[in-house]
């Protein structure tokens, strides 16, 4: 075995040339064993200099842009400017008028069931690796989700009146 050091700083131990052929007639190809070892070195402040420099440039740009807008921008005030703007439409009535809680209930239920469905994606990605145990766990999870869904339907939370 010979040792090679790559650009990333890890060692790859590979057999000498000609020891294993990539294609053989006796069976599947035998690929060389590769072991990666990353050297343990402490990070220094010098390693973080590019990140610190980028954050400083971004913060400096934001500060300069805000200061330029405040210094160069128009400074006209008045009653008309202090009124609230509603997309060019004149205001009618009080903005704090009560309306049905049904909107909030539907939105919260949508977010709740949407987040529960998102939990199915990792299971779908690892479906074969989880095997029967993972399938049973997902069936229990779907049972709870469907029980909650049927409870919401039975209570009439999704009826729009």
* Per-residue model confidence as pLDDT tens digits over 71-102: 998 888 888 777 777 676 777 777 777 777 78
* Neighbouring C-beta atoms of residue 149, cutoff 10 Å: 15
* Per-residue model confidence as pLDDT tens digits over 46-71: 888 999 999 999 999 999 999 999 99
Stretch(es) of the chain classified as CATH 1.20.58.1610: 102-155
Report how far Cα 49 is from the mean position of its chain's Cα atoms.
26
* Neighbouring C-beta atoms of residue 20, cutoff 10 Å: 14
- CA–CA separation, 160 and 103 (whole Å): 10
Annotation: CATH topology of 102-155: Methane Monooxygenase Hydroxylase; Chain G, domain 1 (1.20.58)
Q: Apex CA 88: angle with CA 84 and CA 92, to 5°?
A: 65
Q: Which one has a higher pLDDT value, 152 or 19?
A: 152
């Amino acid at each position: 075995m010979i040792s090679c050091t790559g650009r990333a700083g890890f060692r790859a131990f590979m057999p000498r040339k000609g020891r294993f052929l990539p294609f053989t007639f006796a069976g599947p190809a035998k690929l060389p064993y590769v072991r990666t070892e990353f050297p343990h070195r402490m990070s220094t402040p010098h390693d973080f200099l590019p990140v610190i420099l980028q954050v400083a440039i971004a913060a400096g740009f934001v500060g300069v842009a805000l200061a330029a807008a405040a210094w160069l921008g128009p400074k006209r005030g008045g009653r008309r400017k202090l009124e609230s703007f509603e997309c060019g439409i004149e205001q009618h009535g009080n903005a704090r008028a009560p309306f049905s809680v049904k909107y909030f209930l539907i939105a919260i239920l949508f977010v709740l069931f949407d987040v529960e469905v998102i939990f199915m994606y990792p299971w779908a990605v690892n479906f074969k690796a989880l095997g029967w145990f993972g399938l049973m766990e997902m069936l229990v999870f779907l049972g709870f989700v469907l029980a909650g869904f049927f409870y919401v339907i039975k209570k009439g939370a999704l009826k729009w009146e």
